[in-house]
Each structure stands twice: as structure tokens, then as C-alpha cells.
A and B are shown apart, each in its own frame.
Chain A
């Protein structure tokens, strides 16, 4: 397979076609490969570059390659897939798009909104004088990949804080699993946000303020009481802090004040087997 003298060819005219031809695949193979390449790149281009458009046309257009890209996990929203809608119609469109793009690459890392803070799940159960608390993910969970998974689970539920239907579904799934797993009849499921400190708070002279785990940084996003009735799980909303479902709130330095009435129980928690270590309500 002669490849010719490259340096000589560089200054001369274009090399004869015959010298190159053997190194490329046959014409038929080239045709097939180029066709497949074109289809694949076209699908990717639609999925990638119609990220922000929320018109009905874009929804229809996006649905064309979704069947191909979704199983490949390439049909992704590159941020959190969460954008503000200004009208009911736009909101409805946006909701469909979110459902198609239920997969999120989260490559924005942070937009400074409430949902970009750390979220975690608490499940409190047991009699009043002997409450047990499970925290997911527990503080210090290793390796980091495990912690990220549970944080994303909490994020997914916390994102539904403004939607009574969705948060009930999520609460029923998670609370039901925990009730079954712990073999208890009732408990309280919470999703909490741990607000990120501002620079001023991190450099303050007060230890309570500089401690990022201080409970004053916590906000209850979702709180449900779950109980087992026969074979089904019934969940009842207890309270809910300010909705975060808009996803476009101010940066954390301007984040809403923590709802002081929504603090978690102060009762000392205990370890529960198979669901990781436990710490007191995310506090110190």
C-alpha cells in the first residue's frame, strides 16, 4: 500500500487520485457510512440546538430523533432543563419538553438558584419520644459518586415542590419504599435544601454563621406524612416552604430567608441498618 512521499506532495499539485483511493474504503462503503453519519449528526444537531426553543414546532421537531437518541442517553437537556414560563401555554409546552428531556446533563453546574444548593432527604419515624431519622445522602458518604446519586434523587423530588400532583407521586414512591424497608407503619418524609453560604457568611466571626451545616441554612421544601393503610401508602402534605419550582430565583446571596417554622426535629436520630449512617437532621 503505497502512501507516497508526503513532503514531496505538499509542495506539488494535488496528488493523483489513484494514490489516495486504496487507502479510503470502497465507494459503496463510503456511501453507506456517509449516509449513517449524516443521519446521526442530523439527529444530534436537532437534539443539541433546540434546547431553549419552546415553540410547538420545536416540540414536534424534537420528537423526531428522540426515539433514536433517548435509548442512547444522548437526548439531554444540558442544564437542569428548567426554564421560566411566562404564560400557561408556554408552561404547558415547557412541561412536555421537560418530560421528553427527563434526562439532564446538568452541565451548567450551578445557576445560583435554590435548586442548585445541596438537597437531601430525611425520613423520620418512630414514637415521639424515640424518633429515628434517616438522611439520604448521609454527610460524608463516600465515594462521591454515591452521594451525587442520592443528591440527584433529592433534587428530583425537591424540584416538584411547587407541583402538588408530582410531589405526591414522588413522596408515595420514596416513602412507600422506606416504610416497607424499615417495616414501620408511618413516618415523615422531608426534602430539605441546605442553602449555600455567601462569602460574607463564610468569613463572619460567628461560629454558628460560618458553619455551613448550621440548621439555620436549612429549608424544608417538601414534607409529607406517610402511613400504610393495608397494602397502600397514603401520603399527606404537612407543610411546604416557598416554591422553588421556578428554578430562576436569585443567586444564593439573595436567596429567600430560611423558614424558621420549618426546622427539622431536634430529636437525636439512630442508625438504621442498610440505609447508611445517620446524622441529626443535617445539623452539627
Chain B
């Protein structure tokens, strides 16, 4: 009896280990990473460019958020006294004092020329990332500069920054310039010391890599977690019935005066508002569940594009919606040559 149980546990452990390794480490194509690299790079470039008109207004010594003010800002409590918080939490409270500015290169930049230099480095890194030029280095620099801007003033960040930080971190770890990149083109022009199969002799194909699999899986899992938490945040926040539950959310978003694209006509179509609200929430909730079914993936990714496109028109959050669509490409079955490039 005991030996049977021991054998069962051992076999289960072995099976789990093999499945785990298959899931996380089986080499796969780097083409989804290339698609993500280009998509995220373009949006990152846009993000940096939108900082240009307000760079000194926000961050210079005489700007709205001069260096040092963010620390002061973050250390300001909400509603209870300092003594109450110290008394209640001790170490946890003191750890919470850790602030953001020391995690940003921009904390060292007050003068306009320094700010513009940091901004220029970010823009250059984003351009190199898009082109796949020195992609390993450019991905790390792009990620570091992005986080520097975010950490310099975290109160300015929102949904876009939350998703972009995740994607850039994993792209920096990934062989994102392995295909469809300047790096790949340059590598093919050099005399090769190793023999590659004929089907890999192009810019858009390369041998499968386990490092591509790990990072793609991390993006997939993290993206699904974001979808789940998005659905939970919409449904359960505020301690009462939210407009996502009552079917009013889409109207409340459309009626914001700066949303912009003339969705005021929805006021005379409450049924459509209700359907759209519940449909949006249902999509958010089911995407992370159904996306793991390979047959459903292409349809879900296209559906995600449609849903986020409509949401972008409704809310004006174009960059965020486009980023969510791009992030969905991590699931796209890119591998055209099944025998050579495994898809995951």
C-alpha cells in the first residue's frame, strides 16, 4: 500500500516536472517576440514623444514636480496621523517609506539639458528596439529609461505604464532581436561558423530557443493575470455594486467630456450600453481562460483587437488599447514551418 502510494507520488512528480519543463523550456520560435518588440517599441517611442512638450514643465527644477517633491508626495499619509501609523505597523510602516525617486535616472536630472539628454537616450533606445539593432542592449536601455520616467513621477502613470513595464521587462530578458531585425540581417551577411538549416537562412526565421519560450510564457501568464485582475477590479471595487455590474460603465466612460469621439448618442441606446458593458467584462474575464485553447487563439486575438479598438474610440485611451492588442500577439501561432520552428 505504502509502496503504491510512494510510486504514485513519484510518478506524479516526474510527470509534473516534465510538463513544467515542456511548458516553460521547450524551444520555440522567436517570431512572436519580434512582433512584440516592434509593436511595443513603436508605442514606447510614442510614449516618449508625448513627454517632449511637458518635459521641463514637469521635471525641471522650477517644474510642477521638481526633484524631491515626489518623495514628499509619496510620504504624505491619507487621513490618519503619522503617530497612528507608526504605532500600528512598526517595520511595515518604515518599509513603506521607501520612495521612488532613488530608482530613477531622472532624479539626477534637474537642468533642461540633462532632462533632454535622458529623454533622447530613451527615444534612441526605442528606435533601436524597433529596428532590432543591438537589440539586447537597446531593450535593456529602453526598459531602464522607461522605468526612470515612471519612477520619477509614479502618480502620472496609469494602465499603459502598468502593461508596458511588464512587456519591456520580459523583452529585455528575451532574445527579441533574433528574427525580423537588423541584428539578424547583419548576422546572415557574416560568414557563418556553424551550419544552419536552409530554412533558417532568412531574416524572419531562426532556430528555436528555450529562452524565447521562457519569456513568451512569462508574458502570457502575466498578461492573463492582468486580465483576471482587471475583471476583478471592475466587478468588485468600491465595496458596492459597480457600474460594470449594473451595466452603466460604458456610458460613464463615453460621457466623459474629453473622451471625444461623439459617443453621446449612446444615451438614447441604454440597451446597447448595457450589452457593451457586460460584453466587455465578459471578454475580460474569459480571455485568460479561453486563450489557452489553441484552436480559440486566433479568434480570441482578433476579438481582442476589435474589443480594444472600440474601447479606444470610446475612451480615447488609444495607446493603452493598442498595447493590449499588441500584448495579445504573445499568443499568436506564428510558426509557419512546423517541422522547424515549434510554436507554443
Residue ranges of A at the interface with B (Cβ–Cβ < 8 Å): 3, 6, 23-25, 30, 33-34, 37, 40-41, 44, 48, 51-52, 56, 59-60, 63, 66-67, 70-74, 76, 78-80, 82-84, 88-89, 91-93, 95-96, 98-100, 102-113, 116-118, 139-140, 143-149, 151-153, 156, 159-160, 162-163, 165-166, 169-170, 173-174, 177-178, 180-181, 194, 196-197, 199-200, 202-203, 212-213, 245, 247-248, 251-253, 274-275
Contact = CB atoms under 8 A, between A and B. Distances in A.
Interface stretch (B130-138, B251-259, B300-308): B251-259
A178 B64 contact: yes
A112 B242 contact: yes
Contacts of B225: 44, 48
B29 interface: no
16 contacts: A73-B147, A78-B233, A88-B80, A92-B88, A96-B89, A103-B154, A105-B159, A108-B237, A111-B243, A116-B252, A139-B257, A144-B260, A147-B258, A163-B79, A166-B76, A177-B66
B239 A248 contact: yes
A170 B306 CA distance: 40
Contacts of A199: 251, 266-268, 270, 273
Given A41-B221, A95-B79, A96-B89, A202 B255 contact: yes
A169 B72 contact: yes
B73 interface: yes
Which 4 pairs across A and B sit closest by C-beta, in order of nearness?
A: A202-B267, A105-B162, A73-B165, A79-B233
B229 A89 contact: no
Contacts of B316: 144, 147
A96 B237 contact: no
B63 A96 contact: no
Interface stretch (B20-28, B30-38, B115-123, B177-185): B20-28
B214 A33 contact: yes
Contacts of A59: 89, 92
Contacts of A34: 20, 24
B220 interface: no
A139 B256 CA distance: 12
Interface in B30-83: 46-47, 50, 53-54, 57-58, 62-66, 69, 72-80
Main SS class of interface, B:
helix
B124 interface: no
B47 A145 contact: yes
B232 A112 contact: no
B198 interface: no
A142 B80 CA distance: 38
Tell which of B69, B169, B252 has the most Cβ of chain A within 10 Å. Answer: B252
Contacts of B93: 96
Nearest to A137: B258
B257 A248 contact: no
A71 B143 CA distance: 11
A251 B252 contact: yes
A43 B13 CA distance: 23
A84 B89 contact: no
B103 interface: yes
B165 A72 contact: yes
A37 B24 contact: yes
A245 B80 CA distance: 12
Interface string B240-279: 1011101011011101111010001011101001000000
Contacts of A212: 255, 257
Nearest to A89: B88
Contacts of A173: 64-65, 69, 72-73
Nearest to A169: B76
Contacts of A166: 76-79
Contacts of A51: 229, 232-233
Given A34-B20, A99-B74, A145-B46, A105 B92 contact: no
Contacts of A70: 98, 100, 103
Contact of A196 (B63, B64, B256): B256
Contact of B92 (A96, A245, A247, A251): A96
Given A23-B27, A63-B96, A169-B76, A194 B257 contact: yes
Contacts of B234: 107-109
A146 B53 CA distance: 9
A173 B222 CA distance: 36
Contacts of A95: 77-80, 85
B230 interface: yes
A84 B248 contact: no
Contacts of A60: 91-92
